[in-house]
Chain A
Amino acid sequence: MERRRLIQSTAAMTAAAVLPAPFSAFAQAARALCYNCPTEWADWGGMLKLVNQKLNISVPPDNKNSGQSMAALIAEKNNPVADITYLGGQFGPQAREAGVLSPYKPQRWNEIPDGFKDKDGFWFTIHSGTLGLFVNTAALRGKPVPRSWQDLTNPTYKGMIGYLNPASAAVGQVGVVAVNLALGGNYENFDPAIRFFKNLQANSPIVPTQTSYARVISGEIPILLDYDFNAYRGQHTDKAPVQFVIPSEGTVSLPYIMGLVNKGPNADNGRKVLDFVLSDEGQRHWANAYLRPVFASAMSAEARSRFLPDSEYKRTQAVDVFKLASAAKVIADRYQKEVG
């Protein structure tokens, strides 16, 4: 009868709908949840596999960026979902202030240089990356590779330049800082940077709000202000016609930090993972993923050979994450008001 069939099919559909998803492999092993551990960024994919192998803890990847992680952590403050988080350095002080982290000093805490960790243990650096020009030489179609920040204002590169929006992406902020310090400004005076980006608008730049690695590799954005580790990944892993350029006026490197989430559901596992990322093995993995591990000795000669020579890196200085944390809003506001 019509009605019986209807009820039967509804029941069947309901049953099918509430069956748990096959995606519960992660539920078996011990677990820790990380905010902002994206598979392809800094080869977190490889790191998470290592963690699973060596510690028997499964950490599913998460593709939030620093800003989204902060927002999620704050919204979930009373009943956190994540156990650990990975953030751009300038978010460390902000996360502490927002009360979403709890202090944990991992093994080897004392070896981390001051300025690269919160003095009370709320967060610490695991590795850093240097900002520069991520260039797809084939997509330049014969034009010379730019060598300095000023080169970017050359009309020959019209439509070819991209940088992440400083008002909505952490790496965008770092780009502003890099240009600012290179052109003579400091953390209190951002005039040089604002002036630079204003002039840059004449070259019709593309201003994405999220990671644009794919767009450089495909040639859509031939010149992107991005980190060296992304460029090296494109060059050595994906074998794309790309190279990294450290502008002649100088640039900055940003420390990336991790911290234990306050009242996370699997805090013990979280602590184990935090220890691991600072261990020899963990640090070696970062070096092989083209990042500068916070313990420089972990970088093998082979890993170093894939970077640009040290002489190039002499022009870089580490971002003062505390100063950047206070200046972040100023940068965002000024950029939005004056450059738009």
Chain B
Amino acid sequence: MQVPVKKQRRSPLFWAQLAFTLAVCAFLIVPVFMSMTAGVTLNYMTGVSGGLTTQWVEKVLTDYRGPIFLSLQLALACLVCTLLLGIPAAYVLAKRQNAFTRAIEELLVMPVAVPGIATALALIVTYGSSGGFRTSWIFILVGHVLFTLPFMVRSVLAVMSSIDLKTLEEGARSLGANFSQRFFGIVLPNCRSGIMAGSLMVVTLSLGEFNMTLLLHTPLTQTLPVGLADTYASLRLEVGSAYTLVFFVIIVPLLIALQWASNAISQRKRI
């Protein structure tokens, strides 16, 4: 609940903190703009004064359409999987706290601790010989799900722990609701903010995942970040930058939309 804040003169401390925060934002955003601009200049060395062009962006969209679509597909599939797997898991962890569930929490976090290369290596040595699976995009999906699942679980569990699940469910049960009615009608709606935040993390992390995908992909299942790394290395900087520009154009609306959605939901909760 918000304590009413009276309109006060901003203290010097406020301005100092604001300046600091703005500096941090500048540090994070300025290179992004530089990179995007480089993607539409004719020549990186001459910069904007040398002329603007869309040829690099066009080249990226023709040569790399496949990887771009595959990354989007992977992110969406990863989200669906983490929702289906993670929400029930978070529910179990919220309802029971014993040695067993603690072990499960430790397990979930392991793919974040173990370096992505190692997880990919492990998958390859185990399933490398299973032709069909190895060459399909599902192989990469598995890696992504392992890595992003703890973030979804963490996010949903945080919200579930903060609401009084027990009372809510007791109330519903006493009114005659069965398990699925309780789960879908009471638990899920109350976790919306956690689900949204988790979804944001999962989509973001999947779109940008590189460490594992570098080893897991095949020529037919190349993803956006892998293609991006390649263009930065072997093509002109302008093409790499154009590719980054395309990446941003895809991801920024996605992130903003998800953030607005989660803001809207958390605001609605504050009645």
A residues engaging B (CB < 8 A)? 2-3, 6, 10, 13-14, 16-19, 21-23, 26, 33-35, 37-41, 60-63, 75-79, 81-82, 138-139, 210-215, 217-220, 238, 265
Residue pair B83, A10 in contact (C-beta under 8 Å): yes
Listed by A's residue number, 26 A-B pairs whose Cβ atoms lie within 8 Å are A2-B189, A3-B184, A6-B184, A10-B84, A13-B79, A14-B80, A17-B73, A17-B76, A19-B73, A21-B69, A21-B70, A21-B73, A22-B65, A23-B65, A23-B70, A39-B234, A40-B234, A61-B219, A62-B219, A63-B226, A75-B128, A76-B129, A78-B129, A79-B128, A81-B135, A217-B237
Residues of A within 8 A of B234 (CB): 38-41, 63, 211, 213-214
Residues of B within 8 A of A33 (CB): 218-220
Q: Which residue of A lies closest to B127 (CB)?
A: A79
Q: Which residue of B lies closest to A25 (CB)?
A: B66
B236's partner among A22, A37, A217 (CB-CB below 8 A) is A217
Q: Which residue of B lies closest to A14 (CB)?
A: B80
> Quick check: is B130 within 8 A (CB to CB) of the other chain?
yes
A212 CB, min distance to chain B CBs, angstroms: 7
> Quick check: is B201 within 8 A (CB to CB) of the other chain?
no
> Quick check: is B77 within 8 A (CB to CB) of the other chain?
yes
Q: Which residue of B lies closest to A15 (CB)?
A: B80
B124's partner among A18, A75, A211, A212 (CB-CB below 8 A) is A75
Which residues from 91 to 129 on chain B have a C-beta closer than 8 Å to any C-beta of chain A? 124-125, 128-129
Residue pair A214, B237 in contact (C-beta under 8 Å): yes
B235's partner among A26, A77, A213, A220 (CB-CB below 8 A) is A213
Residue pair A138, B45 in contact (C-beta under 8 Å): yes
Residues of A within 8 A of B130 (CB): 79
Residues of A within 8 A of B170 (CB): none
Residues of A within 8 A of B237 (CB): 214-215, 217-218, 220
- Interface of B, secondary structure class, is helix
B213 CB, min distance to chain A CBs, angstroms: 13
8 tightest A-B CB contacts, nearest first? A23-B66, A17-B77, A78-B129, A62-B219, A63-B230, A79-B129, A3-B184, A218-B237
Residues of B within 8 A of A10 (CB): 80, 83-84
Counting residue pairs across A and B whose Cβ atoms lie within 8 Å, the total is 110
Residues of A within 8 A of B181 (CB): 3
A171 CB, min distance to chain B CBs, angstroms: 12
A217 CA to B180 CA, complexed, in Å: 61
Which residues from 177 to 203 on chain B have a C-beta closer than 8 Å to any C-beta of chain A? 180-181, 184-185, 188-189
> Quick check: is B143 within 8 A (CB to CB) of the other chain?
no
Given known pairs A2-B184, A3-B185, A214-B235, the reply for A38 and B128 (CB within 8 Å) is no
Residue pair B76, A23 in contact (C-beta under 8 Å): no
B228 CB, min distance to chain A CBs, angstroms: 11
Residues of B within 8 A of A212 (CB): 233
Residues of B within 8 A of A40 (CB): 234-235
A139 CA to B65 CA, complexed, in Å: 34
Given known pairs A18-B77, A218-B237, the reply for A39 and B137 (CB within 8 Å) is no
What count of chain B residues pass the 8 Å CB interface test?
A: 45
> Quick check: is B247 within 8 A (CB to CB) of the other chain?
no
Given known pairs A38-B234, A61-B219, A218-B236, the reply for A23 and B69 (CB within 8 Å) is yes
Q: Which residue of B lies closest to A27 (CB)?
A: B220
Given known pairs A210-B233, A219-B45, the reply for A39 and B63 (CB within 8 Å) is yes
Q: Which residue of A lies closest to B124 (CB)?
A: A75
A217 CA to B65 CA, complexed, in Å: 25
Residue pair B77, A76 in contact (C-beta under 8 Å): no
Q: Which residue of B lies closest to A16 (CB)?
A: B76
> Quick check: is B31 within 8 A (CB to CB) of the other chain?
no
Residue pair B80, A17 in contact (C-beta under 8 Å): yes
A238's partner among B124, B125, B236 (CB-CB below 8 A) is B236
Residues of A within 8 A of B137 (CB): 21
Residues of A within 8 A of B79 (CB): 13, 17
Residues of A within 8 A of B235 (CB): 40, 213-214
Mask: chain B, 205-235; 1 = CB below 8 Å from A; 0 = not: 0000000000000111010001100101111
Residue pair A214, B124 in contact (C-beta under 8 Å): no
Q: Which residue of A lies closest to B63 (CB)?
A: A39
> Quick check: is B86 within 8 A (CB to CB) of the other chain?
no
| Given A60-B220, A210-B233, A218-B237, 10 additional A-B pairs, CB 8 A | A6-B184, A10-B83, A17-B77, A19-B73, A22-B66, A37-B219, A38-B230, A78-B129, A214-B232, A217-B236
B125 CB, min distance to chain A CBs, angstroms: 6
A220 CA to B63 CA, complexed, in Å: 25
Residues of B within 8 A of A14 (CB): 80
Residues of B within 8 A of A39 (CB): 63, 234
B130 CB, min distance to chain A CBs, angstroms: 7
A238 CA to B240 CA, complexed, in Å: 15
Residues of B within 8 A of A60 (CB): 219-220
Which residues from 49 to 97 on chain B have a C-beta closer than 8 Å to any C-beta of chain A? 63, 65-67, 69-70, 73, 76-77, 79-80, 83-84
Q: Which residue of A lies closest to B44 (CB)?
A: A218
Residues of A within 8 A of B239 (CB): 214
Residue pair A79, B63 in contact (C-beta under 8 Å): no
Given known pairs A17-B76, A40-B235, the reply for A81 and B45 (CB within 8 Å) is no
Residues of A within 8 A of B222 (CB): 63
Residues of A within 8 A of B233 (CB): 210-214
